[in-house]
């Protein structure tokens, strides 16, 4: 395991994103939607640094097919409240191919929010579908497999306060 993003560096970047978000959503009815499971730590830290009033909800999806076609997803945790007419910020841990995000954006759009923006701590931009837009990217990364700060490998390592590249997994 090779540490790539220190706890301090992540903390600093999360605060920068939160400042930007606080400015952009000022006077709006913001609902922050954390995407489980990976987004739980990023969402918790981001929320605590967002300086404007907002609601927090969570949703989860999982792919049940081969993951190759983007239709193979299902919602495994629904939102508690409708986001109709609200300003929504979806918070994802990492955008790899972008299929999960694409599916979740489509699902949330069905509720007709006033606007929908996306924050992702990591974005494998070179690899991800070019149609996928991350409005608030934490870090643009290479196609490495990352663990820590919410990101897991086979369910483990989410608790690491830093983010490391897991070697020998490709
Ligand atoms: P996508 O649908 O290909 O964008 O994959 C997104 C999901 O796959 C993320 O929400 C993560 O749960 C998982 N994932 C993708 N890349 C990594 C990684 O490098 N480390 C840990 N999980 C990852
Ligand atoms: Mg995830």
- pTM beyond cutoff 0.85: yes
Tell which atom from ligand 1 comes closest to the C-alpha of 102.
2
Query: Whats the size of the chain, residue-wise?
Result: 170
Instruction: Give per-residue pLDDT as tens, 16-29.
Output: 999 999 999 999 99
Which ligand approaches the C-alpha of residue 134 most closely? 1
Burial 75-85 (b: 16+ CB within 10 A, else e): eeeebeeebee
Whole-number pLDDT of residue 121: 98
Structure tokens of 30?
A: 């913001």
Q: Ligand 2 center to residue 111 CA distance, Å? A: 22
What domains are defined for the chain? 3-64+73-165 (3.40.50.2020)
Over residues 60-107, the pLDDT tens digits come to 999 876 555 556 899 999 999 999 999 999 999 999 999 999 999 999
Catalytic hit among 96, 135, 144, 170: 96
Q: Which ligand is nearest to the CA of 59?
A: 2
pLDDT tens, position by position, 64-75: 765 555 568 999
Render the chain in DSSP notation, one character per residue. -EEEE-HHHHHHHHHHHHHHHHHHTTTS-EEEEEEETTTHHHHHHHHHH--S--EEEEEEEEE-S-SSSTT-EEEEE--SS--TTSEEEEEEEEESSSHHHHHHHHHHHTT--SEEEEEEEEE-TTTS-TT---SEEEEE--S--EEBTTB-BTTB-TT-SSEEEPTT--
Residue 57 designated active-site: no
* Protein residues whose CB sits closer than 6 Å to any atom of ligand 1: 38, 92-101, 145-146, 151-152
Query: Of ligand 1's atoms, which has the minimum distance to the CA of residue 151?
Result: 21
CA 49 to ligand 1 centroid distance, Å = 24
Name the residue with the closest Cα to ligand 1, atom 19: 145
């Amino acid at each position: 395991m090779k540490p790539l993003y220190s706890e301090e560096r992540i903390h600093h970047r999360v605060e920068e994103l939160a400042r930007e978000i606080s400015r952009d959503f000022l006077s709006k009815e913001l609902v922050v939607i954390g995407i489980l499971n990976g987004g739980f730590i990023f969402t918790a830290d981001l929320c605590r640094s967002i300086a404007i009033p907002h609601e927090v909800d969570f949703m989860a999806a999982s792919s049940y097919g081969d993951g190759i076609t983007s239709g193979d997803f299902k919602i495994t945790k629904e939102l508690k409240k409708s986001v109709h007419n609200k300003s929504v910020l979806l918070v994802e841990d990492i955008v790899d191919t972008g299929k999960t995000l694409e599916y979740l954006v489509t699902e949330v759009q069905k509720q007709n929010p006033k606007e929908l923006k996306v924050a992702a701590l990591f974005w494998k931009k070179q690899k991800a579908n070019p149609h996928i837009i991350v409005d608030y990217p934490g870090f643009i990364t290479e196609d490495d497999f990352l663990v820590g700060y919410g990101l897991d490998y086979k369910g483990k390592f989410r608790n690491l306060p830093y983010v490391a590249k897991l070697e020998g997994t490709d």
